[in-house]
Chains A and B, each alone.
Chain A
Amino acid sequence: MTDPGNKPLTVVEATAEVLDARQARHPMALIVGVSGAQELVGKRVVVRQARGGIKHLVGSFGDPDLDAGALALGTQRLEERRASTKGVYELKSASGSTVQVYVEAHYPQPDLVIVGAGHIAQPLCSMGALMGFRVIVVDDRPDFATQERFPEADRVVRVDFRDPFADIPIHSTSYIVLVTRGHKYDFECLRHLLKTEVEPPYLGMIGSRRRIRAAFSQLQGEGLPKDRLSRVRAPVGLDIGAETPVEIAVAVAAEIVLQWRGGTGKPMAEQERILERFFKDSEL
Protein backbone atom coordinates (compact mmCIF):
# COMPACT_ATOMS: atom_id res chain seq x y z
CA MET A 1 0.00 0.00 0.00
CA THR A 2 1.52 3.29 -1.06
CA ASP A 3 0.57 6.68 0.30
CA PRO A 4 -1.48 8.65 -2.23
CA GLY A 5 0.90 11.60 -1.69
CA ASN A 6 3.49 9.71 -3.76
CA LYS A 7 6.21 11.76 -2.08
CA PRO A 8 8.88 11.00 0.48
CA LEU A 9 8.39 12.26 4.03
CA THR A 10 10.11 15.39 5.21
CA VAL A 11 12.43 15.09 8.21
CA VAL A 12 9.76 16.86 10.26
CA GLU A 13 7.15 14.29 9.22
CA ALA A 14 9.51 11.35 9.75
CA THR A 15 10.46 12.60 13.23
CA ALA A 16 6.77 12.96 14.09
CA GLU A 17 6.24 9.35 12.89
CA VAL A 18 8.96 8.10 15.27
CA LEU A 19 7.56 10.01 18.23
CA ASP A 20 3.92 9.09 17.48
CA ALA A 21 4.75 5.38 17.11
CA ARG A 22 6.50 5.52 20.47
CA GLN A 23 3.50 7.14 22.08
CA ALA A 24 1.09 4.61 20.56
CA ARG A 25 3.46 1.69 21.36
CA HIS A 26 3.51 0.58 17.71
CA PRO A 27 6.66 -0.75 16.05
CA MET A 28 7.90 1.17 13.02
CA ALA A 29 10.88 1.27 10.67
CA LEU A 30 12.44 4.37 9.21
CA ILE A 31 14.12 4.07 5.79
CA VAL A 32 16.47 6.78 4.50
CA GLY A 33 18.28 6.96 1.17
CA VAL A 34 21.99 7.47 1.93
CA SER A 35 23.83 6.93 -1.37
CA GLY A 36 23.31 5.94 -5.00
CA ALA A 37 20.56 7.68 -6.97
CA GLN A 38 21.24 11.30 -6.05
CA GLU A 39 17.62 12.45 -6.02
CA LEU A 40 16.80 9.92 -3.29
CA VAL A 41 19.66 10.68 -0.89
CA GLY A 42 18.27 12.07 2.34
CA LYS A 43 14.72 11.04 1.36
CA ARG A 44 12.62 9.09 3.85
CA VAL A 45 9.75 6.66 4.03
CA VAL A 46 8.34 4.83 7.03
CA VAL A 47 6.94 1.33 7.49
CA ARG A 48 4.25 1.40 10.15
CA GLN A 49 3.00 -1.67 11.95
CA ALA A 50 -0.60 -1.40 13.03
CA ARG A 51 -2.40 -3.55 15.56
CA GLY A 52 -2.67 -7.10 14.26
CA GLY A 53 0.79 -6.87 12.71
CA ILE A 54 -0.29 -5.37 9.37
CA LYS A 55 2.45 -3.23 7.88
CA HIS A 56 2.15 -0.41 5.42
CA LEU A 57 4.29 2.24 3.83
CA VAL A 58 3.94 5.92 4.67
CA GLY A 59 5.44 8.23 2.08
CA SER A 60 6.88 7.09 -1.23
CA PHE A 61 10.15 7.04 -3.12
CA GLY A 62 8.05 7.65 -6.25
CA ASP A 63 8.88 4.30 -7.85
CA PRO A 64 6.82 1.11 -7.47
CA ASP A 65 9.85 -1.19 -7.15
CA LEU A 66 11.59 1.02 -4.60
CA ASP A 67 8.41 1.31 -2.56
CA ALA A 68 7.82 -2.45 -2.66
CA GLY A 69 11.47 -3.01 -1.70
CA ALA A 70 11.24 -0.52 1.15
CA LEU A 71 8.09 -2.14 2.49
CA ALA A 72 9.70 -5.61 2.31
CA LEU A 73 12.86 -4.37 4.01
CA GLY A 74 10.99 -2.59 6.80
CA THR A 75 8.76 -5.62 7.31
CA GLN A 76 11.76 -7.93 7.54
CA ARG A 77 13.54 -5.71 10.04
CA LEU A 78 10.42 -5.39 12.20
CA GLU A 79 9.96 -9.13 12.24
CA GLU A 80 13.55 -9.85 13.28
CA ARG A 81 12.70 -8.27 16.60
CA ARG A 82 16.25 -7.74 17.70
CA ALA A 83 18.97 -5.18 17.32
CA SER A 84 20.90 -5.51 14.06
CA THR A 85 24.49 -4.46 13.39
CA LYS A 86 23.75 -3.97 9.73
CA GLY A 87 21.98 -0.80 8.71
CA VAL A 88 22.49 -0.31 4.96
CA TYR A 89 20.74 -2.26 2.21
CA GLU A 90 20.42 -1.81 -1.55
CA LEU A 91 17.15 -1.25 -3.40
CA LYS A 92 16.61 -1.35 -7.18
CA SER A 93 14.14 0.91 -8.94
CA ALA A 94 11.90 -0.08 -11.86
CA SER A 95 14.22 1.83 -14.19
CA GLY A 96 17.24 -0.15 -12.96
CA SER A 97 18.99 2.48 -10.86
CA THR A 98 20.03 1.57 -7.35
CA VAL A 99 19.91 3.35 -4.03
CA GLN A 100 21.48 2.40 -0.71
CA VAL A 101 19.08 2.86 2.15
CA TYR A 102 19.66 2.95 5.88
CA VAL A 103 17.01 1.14 7.90
CA GLU A 104 16.29 1.82 11.52
CA ALA A 105 13.68 -0.19 13.41
CA HIS A 106 11.93 1.27 16.42
CA TYR A 107 10.15 -0.99 18.86
CA PRO A 108 8.01 0.01 21.79
CA GLN A 109 9.87 0.06 25.07
CA PRO A 110 9.77 -3.54 26.35
CA ASP A 111 8.08 -4.43 29.64
CA LEU A 112 9.84 -6.18 32.47
CA VAL A 113 7.15 -7.83 34.56
CA ILE A 114 8.49 -8.89 37.95
CA VAL A 115 6.09 -11.20 39.76
CA GLY A 116 6.87 -11.09 43.47
CA ALA A 117 7.95 -7.88 45.21
CA GLY A 118 10.66 -9.31 47.46
CA HIS A 119 14.38 -8.90 47.91
CA ILE A 120 15.39 -9.96 44.38
CA ALA A 121 12.68 -7.84 42.80
CA GLN A 122 14.04 -4.58 44.22
CA PRO A 123 17.50 -4.61 42.60
CA LEU A 124 16.04 -6.21 39.46
CA CYS A 125 13.53 -3.36 39.18
CA SER A 126 16.36 -0.80 39.37
CA MET A 127 18.43 -2.65 36.78
CA GLY A 128 15.46 -3.10 34.46
CA ALA A 129 14.71 0.62 34.60
CA LEU A 130 18.39 1.42 33.92
CA MET A 131 18.32 -0.87 30.88
CA GLY A 132 15.31 1.02 29.55
CA PHE A 133 12.51 -1.38 30.42
CA ARG A 134 9.10 -0.22 31.53
CA VAL A 135 9.06 -2.16 34.81
CA ILE A 136 5.86 -3.57 36.28
CA VAL A 137 6.03 -5.19 39.73
CA VAL A 138 3.18 -7.33 41.05
CA ASP A 139 2.56 -9.04 44.37
CA ASP A 140 -0.44 -10.02 46.48
CA ARG A 141 0.97 -8.47 49.66
CA PRO A 142 -0.10 -4.85 50.06
CA ASP A 143 2.91 -4.08 52.27
CA PHE A 144 5.32 -5.24 49.56
CA ALA A 145 3.59 -4.03 46.40
CA THR A 146 4.23 -0.35 47.08
CA GLN A 147 5.65 2.41 44.90
CA GLU A 148 7.93 3.40 47.81
CA ARG A 149 9.72 0.06 47.64
CA PHE A 150 10.00 0.33 43.83
CA PRO A 151 10.58 3.98 42.98
CA GLU A 152 11.78 3.19 39.43
CA ALA A 153 8.79 0.98 38.56
CA ASP A 154 6.30 2.24 36.01
CA ARG A 155 3.52 0.38 37.83
CA VAL A 156 3.33 -1.51 41.11
CA VAL A 157 0.17 -3.62 41.18
CA ARG A 158 -1.49 -5.68 43.87
CA VAL A 159 -2.86 -8.84 42.30
CA ASP A 160 -4.49 -12.10 43.27
CA PHE A 161 -2.11 -14.92 42.34
CA ARG A 162 -5.07 -17.08 41.31
CA ASP A 163 -5.49 -14.71 38.34
CA PRO A 164 -2.32 -12.62 38.41
CA PHE A 165 -2.37 -11.20 34.89
CA ALA A 166 -6.01 -10.09 34.73
CA ASP A 167 -4.82 -6.49 34.81
CA ILE A 168 -1.34 -6.91 33.28
CA PRO A 169 -1.31 -7.24 29.50
CA ILE A 170 1.22 -9.82 28.32
CA HIS A 171 2.51 -9.19 24.81
CA SER A 172 5.37 -9.92 22.45
CA THR A 173 7.63 -7.42 24.25
CA SER A 174 7.01 -8.67 27.81
CA TYR A 175 9.99 -10.04 29.72
CA ILE A 176 8.65 -11.90 32.73
CA VAL A 177 10.44 -13.04 35.88
CA LEU A 178 8.69 -15.18 38.48
CA VAL A 179 10.19 -14.57 41.91
CA THR A 180 7.28 -14.74 44.36
CA ARG A 181 7.66 -15.66 48.02
CA GLY A 182 6.50 -19.22 47.44
CA HIS A 183 7.09 -21.79 44.75
CA LYS A 184 3.38 -22.61 44.50
CA TYR A 185 2.67 -19.02 43.41
CA ASP A 186 5.48 -19.10 40.85
CA PHE A 187 4.02 -22.35 39.60
CA GLU A 188 0.47 -20.96 39.31
CA CYS A 189 1.78 -17.93 37.42
CA LEU A 190 3.84 -20.10 35.10
CA ARG A 191 0.80 -22.20 34.28
CA HIS A 192 -1.14 -19.04 33.37
CA LEU A 193 1.69 -17.76 31.20
CA LEU A 194 2.08 -20.99 29.25
CA LYS A 195 -1.48 -20.51 28.07
CA THR A 196 -1.28 -16.92 26.82
CA GLU A 197 -2.05 -16.43 23.16
CA VAL A 198 1.15 -14.47 22.54
CA GLU A 199 4.27 -16.12 23.89
CA PRO A 200 6.45 -13.66 25.81
CA PRO A 201 10.07 -13.52 24.57
CA TYR A 202 11.45 -14.21 28.04
CA LEU A 203 9.86 -16.17 30.84
CA GLY A 204 12.02 -17.10 33.81
CA MET A 205 11.17 -18.78 37.10
CA ILE A 206 13.32 -19.07 40.20
CA GLY A 207 13.54 -22.38 42.06
CA SER A 208 15.52 -25.41 43.07
CA ARG A 209 16.15 -28.27 40.67
CA ARG A 210 13.74 -30.50 42.58
CA ARG A 211 10.86 -28.01 42.51
CA ILE A 212 11.34 -27.07 38.88
CA ARG A 213 11.41 -30.73 37.95
CA ALA A 214 8.16 -31.29 39.83
CA ALA A 215 6.62 -28.24 38.15
CA PHE A 216 7.62 -29.35 34.64
CA SER A 217 6.39 -32.88 35.28
CA GLN A 218 3.01 -31.59 36.46
CA LEU A 219 2.62 -29.12 33.57
CA GLN A 220 3.55 -31.72 31.00
CA GLY A 221 1.05 -34.07 32.59
CA GLU A 222 -1.59 -31.39 32.11
CA GLY A 223 -0.83 -31.42 28.40
CA LEU A 224 0.82 -28.02 28.14
CA PRO A 225 2.87 -27.73 24.94
CA LYS A 226 6.38 -29.08 25.38
CA ASP A 227 8.01 -26.54 23.06
CA ARG A 228 6.77 -23.66 25.20
CA LEU A 229 7.88 -25.44 28.36
CA SER A 230 11.30 -25.95 26.81
CA ARG A 231 11.77 -22.18 26.42
CA VAL A 232 11.05 -21.42 30.09
CA ARG A 233 14.21 -20.13 31.79
CA ALA A 234 14.14 -22.17 34.99
CA PRO A 235 16.14 -21.87 37.13
CA VAL A 236 16.27 -18.25 36.06
CA GLY A 237 19.52 -16.37 35.30
CA LEU A 238 23.02 -17.00 34.00
CA ASP A 239 25.44 -19.12 36.03
CA ILE A 240 27.76 -16.51 37.52
CA GLY A 241 27.79 -18.06 40.98
CA ALA A 242 25.29 -15.50 42.28
CA GLU A 243 24.52 -15.74 46.02
CA THR A 244 23.04 -12.49 47.27
CA PRO A 245 19.75 -11.01 46.03
CA VAL A 246 21.65 -8.30 44.12
CA GLU A 247 23.94 -10.88 42.50
CA ILE A 248 20.92 -12.97 41.53
CA ALA A 249 19.33 -9.86 40.01
CA VAL A 250 22.55 -9.32 38.00
CA ALA A 251 22.40 -12.92 36.74
CA VAL A 252 18.76 -12.45 35.66
CA ALA A 253 19.41 -9.05 34.08
CA ALA A 254 22.34 -10.54 32.15
CA GLU A 255 20.14 -13.35 30.85
CA ILE A 256 17.54 -10.81 29.73
CA VAL A 257 20.18 -8.88 27.75
CA LEU A 258 21.38 -12.19 26.31
CA GLN A 259 17.87 -12.96 25.10
CA TRP A 260 17.39 -9.44 23.70
CA ARG A 261 20.71 -9.10 21.92
CA GLY A 262 21.41 -12.73 21.15
CA GLY A 263 24.82 -13.26 22.74
CA THR A 264 26.43 -16.54 23.77
CA GLY A 265 26.56 -15.98 27.54
CA LYS A 266 30.24 -16.98 27.56
CA PRO A 267 33.09 -14.80 28.86
CA MET A 268 34.35 -12.51 26.07
CA ALA A 269 37.98 -13.44 26.86
CA GLU A 270 37.16 -17.12 26.31
CA GLN A 271 35.38 -16.32 23.05
CA GLU A 272 38.19 -14.18 21.68
CA ARG A 273 41.30 -15.97 23.11
CA ILE A 274 43.44 -13.12 21.77
CA LEU A 275 46.74 -14.25 23.32
CA GLU A 276 46.30 -17.77 22.01
CA ARG A 277 45.16 -16.77 18.52
CA PHE A 278 47.37 -13.82 17.70
CA PHE A 279 50.67 -14.43 19.49
CA LYS A 280 53.20 -17.13 18.78
CA ASP A 281 54.63 -18.92 21.80
CA SER A 282 57.95 -17.14 21.33
CA GLU A 283 56.27 -13.75 21.75
CA LEU A 284 54.82 -14.59 25.11
Chain B
Amino acid sequence: MNSHNDYDLYQAIAEKIQAGRTIAMATIVSTKGSVPRGVGAKMLIDPGEDLVGTVGGGCGEGEVIEAALEVIKTGEPQMVRVDLTEDLLSLSPAVCGGTMEIFVEAIGE
Protein backbone atom coordinates (compact mmCIF):
# COMPACT_ATOMS: atom_id res chain seq x y z
CA MET B 1 0.00 0.00 0.00
CA ASN B 2 2.82 2.25 0.92
CA SER B 3 4.45 2.32 -2.45
CA HIS B 4 1.66 2.34 -4.97
CA ASN B 5 0.39 5.67 -3.67
CA ASP B 6 3.40 7.29 -5.27
CA TYR B 7 2.91 5.28 -8.42
CA ASP B 8 1.20 8.27 -10.01
CA LEU B 9 4.17 10.40 -9.04
CA TYR B 10 6.55 8.12 -10.94
CA GLN B 11 4.11 8.26 -13.82
CA ALA B 12 4.28 12.06 -13.58
CA ILE B 13 8.11 11.97 -13.64
CA ALA B 14 7.96 9.88 -16.82
CA GLU B 15 5.52 12.37 -18.37
CA LYS B 16 7.64 15.39 -17.43
CA ILE B 17 10.73 13.73 -18.90
CA GLN B 18 8.77 12.87 -22.04
CA ALA B 19 7.67 16.50 -22.33
CA GLY B 20 11.29 17.59 -22.11
CA ARG B 21 10.80 19.58 -18.88
CA THR B 22 13.61 20.24 -16.43
CA ILE B 23 12.14 19.76 -12.98
CA ALA B 24 13.21 19.11 -9.42
CA MET B 25 12.13 16.21 -7.24
CA ALA B 26 11.99 16.49 -3.46
CA THR B 27 11.89 13.28 -1.39
CA ILE B 28 11.54 13.04 2.37
CA VAL B 29 14.38 10.66 3.28
CA SER B 30 14.24 10.80 7.07
CA THR B 31 12.03 12.25 9.78
CA LYS B 32 12.06 12.83 13.53
CA GLY B 33 9.09 13.69 15.72
CA SER B 34 5.71 14.83 14.41
CA VAL B 35 5.84 15.62 10.73
CA PRO B 36 3.05 15.97 8.22
CA ARG B 37 4.28 13.29 5.82
CA GLY B 38 6.48 10.24 6.18
CA VAL B 39 9.67 8.97 4.57
CA GLY B 40 9.23 8.50 0.84
CA ALA B 41 6.71 11.31 0.32
CA LYS B 42 7.60 13.26 -2.81
CA MET B 43 6.94 16.46 -4.65
CA LEU B 44 7.83 17.43 -8.21
CA ILE B 45 8.57 21.08 -8.79
CA ASP B 46 8.14 22.27 -12.37
CA PRO B 47 8.96 25.98 -12.29
CA GLY B 48 6.29 28.12 -13.86
CA GLU B 49 4.13 25.06 -14.43
CA ASP B 50 2.96 23.15 -11.40
CA LEU B 51 3.68 21.15 -8.27
CA VAL B 52 2.88 17.44 -8.21
CA GLY B 53 2.44 15.71 -4.84
CA THR B 54 3.38 17.22 -1.49
CA VAL B 55 6.03 16.93 1.19
CA GLY B 56 3.85 18.47 3.85
CA GLY B 57 1.65 21.35 2.77
CA GLY B 58 2.51 24.51 4.64
CA CYS B 59 5.08 22.72 6.79
CA GLY B 60 8.37 23.77 5.29
CA GLU B 61 7.33 23.46 1.70
CA GLY B 62 8.42 27.03 0.94
CA GLU B 63 12.02 26.19 1.82
CA VAL B 64 11.86 23.12 -0.39
CA ILE B 65 10.56 25.04 -3.40
CA GLU B 66 13.30 27.64 -2.94
CA ALA B 67 15.94 24.90 -2.84
CA ALA B 68 14.35 23.26 -5.88
CA LEU B 69 14.75 26.40 -7.98
CA GLU B 70 18.40 26.62 -6.99
CA VAL B 71 19.01 22.93 -7.68
CA ILE B 72 17.52 23.31 -11.15
CA LYS B 73 19.85 26.26 -11.79
CA THR B 74 23.05 24.63 -10.50
CA GLY B 75 22.33 20.97 -11.20
CA GLU B 76 23.76 20.13 -7.75
CA PRO B 77 21.49 18.06 -5.49
CA GLN B 78 20.82 19.44 -2.00
CA MET B 79 19.71 18.05 1.33
CA VAL B 80 17.20 20.42 2.93
CA ARG B 81 16.65 20.11 6.64
CA VAL B 82 13.23 21.38 7.63
CA ASP B 83 12.77 22.19 11.31
CA LEU B 84 9.17 22.38 12.43
CA THR B 85 9.82 22.30 16.16
CA GLU B 86 9.67 26.03 16.80
CA ASP B 87 6.51 27.78 17.95
CA LEU B 88 4.81 24.53 18.75
CA LEU B 89 1.93 26.32 20.39
CA SER B 90 1.52 29.05 17.80
CA LEU B 91 -1.74 29.00 15.89
CA SER B 92 -0.10 28.68 12.50
CA PRO B 93 -1.43 25.64 10.67
CA ALA B 94 2.09 25.01 9.40
CA VAL B 95 3.37 23.96 12.79
CA CYS B 96 3.94 20.27 13.21
CA GLY B 97 6.68 19.72 15.78
CA GLY B 98 9.34 17.58 14.11
CA THR B 99 12.25 17.72 11.69
CA MET B 100 12.68 16.20 8.28
CA GLU B 101 15.47 15.78 5.80
CA ILE B 102 14.41 16.30 2.23
CA PHE B 103 16.61 15.37 -0.71
CA VAL B 104 16.15 17.73 -3.64
CA GLU B 105 17.57 16.94 -7.08
CA ALA B 106 17.12 18.10 -10.65
CA ILE B 107 15.69 15.86 -13.34
CA GLY B 108 16.09 16.51 -17.05
CA GLU B 109 18.59 18.43 -19.15
| Chain A residues engaging chain B, CB cutoff 8 angstroms | 11-12, 15-16, 18-19, 22, 32, 34-35, 41-42, 83-88, 102, 104-107, 109-110, 131-133, 260
Q: Check if B2 is an interface residue, CB within 8 A of chain A.
A: yes
Per-residue CB contact flags for chain B residues 1-26 toward chain A (1 = under 8 Å, else 0) read: 11111010011011001000000010
- Total A-B contacts with CB atoms under 8 angstroms apart: 65
- Among the stretches B27-35, B47-55, B62-70, the one at the interface with A is B27-35
**A151 to B31, alpha carbons, bound, how many Å?**
38
Q: Is the CB of A12 within 8 A of B17?
A: yes
Q: A11-B107, A19-B14 are in contact. Are A34 and B79 (CB under 8 A)?
A: yes
Q: Is the CB of B38 within 8 A of A85?
A: yes
Q: A83-B2, A88-B30 are in contact. Are A102 and B103 (CB under 8 A)?
A: yes
In the complex, what residues of B have CB within 8 A of residue A84's CB? Answer: 39
> Chain B nearest CB: distance from A49 CB in Å?
13
In the complex, what residues of A have CB within 8 A of residue B1's CB? Answer: 83, 109-110, 131-133, 260
**A11 to B14, alpha carbons, bound, how many Å?**
9
Q: Is the CB of B39 within 8 A of A85?
A: yes
Instruction: Give the number of residues in B that approach A within 8 Å (Cβ atoms).
Output: 26
In the complex, what residues of B have CB within 8 A of residue A88's CB? Answer: 29-30, 101
> Chain A nearest CB: distance from B106 CB in Å?
8
Q: Is the CB of A107 within 8 A of B3?
A: yes
A18 closest partner in B (C-beta) = B10
Q: A15-B10, A41-B77, A132-B1 are in contact. Are A87 and B17 (CB under 8 A)?
A: no
Q: Check if B46 is an interface residue, CB within 8 A of chain A.
A: no
Q: Is the CB of B3 within 8 A of A105?
A: yes
Q: Is the CB of A42 within 8 A of B77?
A: yes
Q: A19-B11, A34-B103 are in contact. Are A87 and B4 (CB under 8 A)?
A: no
In the complex, what residues of B have CB within 8 A of residue A107's CB? Answer: 2-3
In the complex, what residues of A have CB within 8 A of residue B14's CB? Answer: 15-16, 19
Pairs across A and B, CB under 8 Å, 12 listed: A11-B13, A11-B17, A16-B14, A18-B10, A34-B77, A83-B1, A87-B28, A87-B40, A104-B3, A104-B27, A109-B4, A132-B1
Per-residue CB contact flags for chain B residues 64-89 toward chain A (1 = under 8 Å, else 0) read: 00000000000001010000000000
> Chain B nearest CB: distance from A26 CB in Å?
12
B78 closest partner in A (C-beta) = A41
User: A102: which of B5, B11, B29, B31 is its contact (CB, 8 Å)?
Assistant: B29
**A131 to B27, alpha carbons, bound, how many Å?**
22
**A19 to B105, alpha carbons, bound, how many Å?**
20
Q: A32-B103, A34-B103 are in contact. Are A87 and B3 (CB under 8 A)?
A: no
Q: Is the CB of B27 within 8 A of A102?
A: yes
In the complex, what residues of B have CB within 8 A of residue A133's CB? Answer: 1
In the complex, what residues of A have CB within 8 A of residue B7's CB? Answer: 19, 22
> Chain A nearest CB: distance from B80 CB in Å?
11
> Chain B nearest CB: distance from A48 CB in Å?
15
**A16 to B40, alpha carbons, bound, how many Å?**
18
> Chain B nearest CB: distance from A77 CB in Å?
11
**A107 to B1, alpha carbons, bound, how many Å?**
8
**A88 to B4, alpha carbons, bound, how many Å?**
20
Q: A35-B79, A107-B3 are in contact. Are A87 and B107 (CB under 8 A)?
A: no
Nearest 4 CB-CB pairings of A with B: A87-B39, A83-B2, A106-B3, A42-B77
In the complex, what residues of A have CB within 8 A of residue B77's CB? Answer: 34, 41-42
In the complex, what residues of A have CB within 8 A of residue B27's CB? Answer: 32, 102, 104
Q: Is the CB of B30 within 8 A of A86?
A: yes
Q: Is the CB of B105 within 8 A of A42?
A: yes
